[in-house]
Amino acid sequence: MTGVQLRAGLANADLIAVLVAVTDNEPRVMTLRAGEALPSGPFESQHRSLQSGLRDWIESQTSHPVGYLEQLYTFADRDREAPSEAGAARRISIGYLGLVREQVTPGTGQPQWHGWYEYFPWEDHRDRRPAVLDSIADRLDSWAGADSLRRERVDFLFGQNGLPWNEDLALQRYELMYEAGLAESPSRPAIEGFGRPMTGDHRRILATGIARLRAKIKYHPVVFELMPDSFTLLHLQRTVEALSGLRLHKPNFRRQIDQQELVEETGEMSSGTGGRPAKLYRYRPTVLQAQALAGPRLPVSRH
């Protein structure tokens, strides 16, 4: 790094966005090329920060303001694309995760929204344990063979052998599947039934976004960036469930929302889709809440 060990290189960099919205209780991601690619492109050089440039661009595309935008990861591995001629520059992509408010599913506009469970069908545990998990487990089983380390990893990541399912491990699950040859790669075609493939490493980038968002909603009130101005508590719950791929315990969910004082009643009632009309709520943002909600997990000595 002192200029001796590392050789200088000029890198080609671009931005790549995982844009998420939740419509009809389904988490969706913005795609191009018939769902094959995430939106991406080279730098916008006018803006001061990448973030603000990206924000502008998204707003022009979706006609909704971006509620939340965060940097995900910078992808720069050598084997991201199909092998190119020697001497080609390493391709760098700076990935961003963005949240936009609920959208009416557009007709045939260029940017299309696809349900993210099309790409990761094994991640949706809302109704039941997905059936795909059995065939995945089969394949991973033979991949692991007698290697106990591999078996342990599989059991842990996919909730086998009595271990619990952990929704946050979406990225690590995908990476394991990739390693085991169950996902498309420059040298491998996609396998039927194991989720819709994408170009290059876009599916990995999407998995990164999903995992990040699933982890995030536990500490930060970012879900509200996906909600309309007013909503019922069940609607909010369904949105969280959509993202996490899990079912939640209704009374406890309400209690939590209540305790955290994140929302307030608008005074109006929902027109009611089935049963008793529900109160409508709105988000009550605070400077404090915007940042930290996680309880301290260190045994801190107060005083």
Residue 111 or 277 having the CB closest to DNA: 277
Report what 218 binds from DNA, a second copy, none; CB cut-off 5-8 Å by kind.
Answer: a second copy
Report what 108 binds from a second copy, DNA, none; CB cut-off 5-8 Å by kind.
Answer: none
Q: What would the DSSP string read from start to end of 134-157? A: HHHHHHHHHHHTT-HHHHHHHHHH
**Distance, CA of 238 to CA of 55 (rounded, Å):** 27
CB-based burial label for 84 (10 Å; 0-12, 13-18, 19+): exposed
Residue 42 or 295 having the CB closest to DNA: 295
- Output the CA torsion sign for 97, 103, 107, 109: negative
Q: Quick check: 113 and 61 in contact, CB under 8 A? A: no
Residue 42 or 274 having the CB closest to DNA: 274
Q: How far is the CB of 167 from DNA (least distance, A)?
A: 12
**Distance, CA of 243 to CA of 223 (rounded, Å):** 9
Residue 107 or 296 having the CB closest to a second copy: 296
Report what 73 binds from a second copy, DNA, none; CB cut-off 5-8 Å by kind.
Answer: a second copy
Q: How far is the CB of 109 from a second copy (least distance, A)?
A: 13
User: Tokens standing for 156?
Assistant: 């842990």
Q: Is 193 left (phi over 0), alpha (psi -120 to 50) or beta?
A: left
Q: Which residues bind DNA (CB under 7 A)?
A: 232-234, 249-252, 254-256, 259, 270, 272-279, 295-303
Identify the CA nearest to 35 among candidates 195, 193, 183: 195
Q: How far is the CB of 218 from a second copy (least distance, A)?
A: 4
Report what 272 binds from DNA, a second copy, none; CB cut-off 5-8 Å by kind.
Answer: DNA
Q: How far is the CB of 160 from DNA (least distance, A)?
A: 19
Q: How far is the CB of 127 from a second copy (least distance, A)?
A: 13
Q: Quick check: 236 and 279 in contact, CB under 8 A? A: no
Residue 111 or 272 having the CB closest to a second copy: 111
Residue 83 or 219 having the CB closest to DNA: 219
Residues 6+ apart with CB under 8 A from 262: 221, 224, 283, 284, 289
CA atoms within 13 A on the CB side of 243: 26
Report what 48 binds from a second copy, DNA, none; CB cut-off 5-8 Å by kind.
Answer: a second copy
SS3 283: strand
Name residue 66's beta-bridge partners: 100
Q: How far is the CB of 105 from DNA (least distance, A)?
A: 21
Residue 106 or 277 having the CB closest to DNA: 277
Report what 278 binds from a second copy, DNA, none; CB cut-off 5-8 Å by kind.
Answer: DNA
Q: Quick check: 227 and 283 in contact, CB under 8 A? A: yes
Q: How far is the CB of 230 from a second copy (least distance, A)?
A: 23
Number of Cβ within 10 Å of residue 227's Cβ equals 20
Q: How far is the CB of 259 from DNA (least distance, A)?
A: 6
Report what 99 binds from DNA, a second copy, none; CB cut-off 5-8 Å by kind.
Answer: none
Report what 208 binds from a second copy, DNA, none; CB cut-off 5-8 Å by kind.
Answer: none
Residue 97 or 169 having the CB closest to a second copy: 169
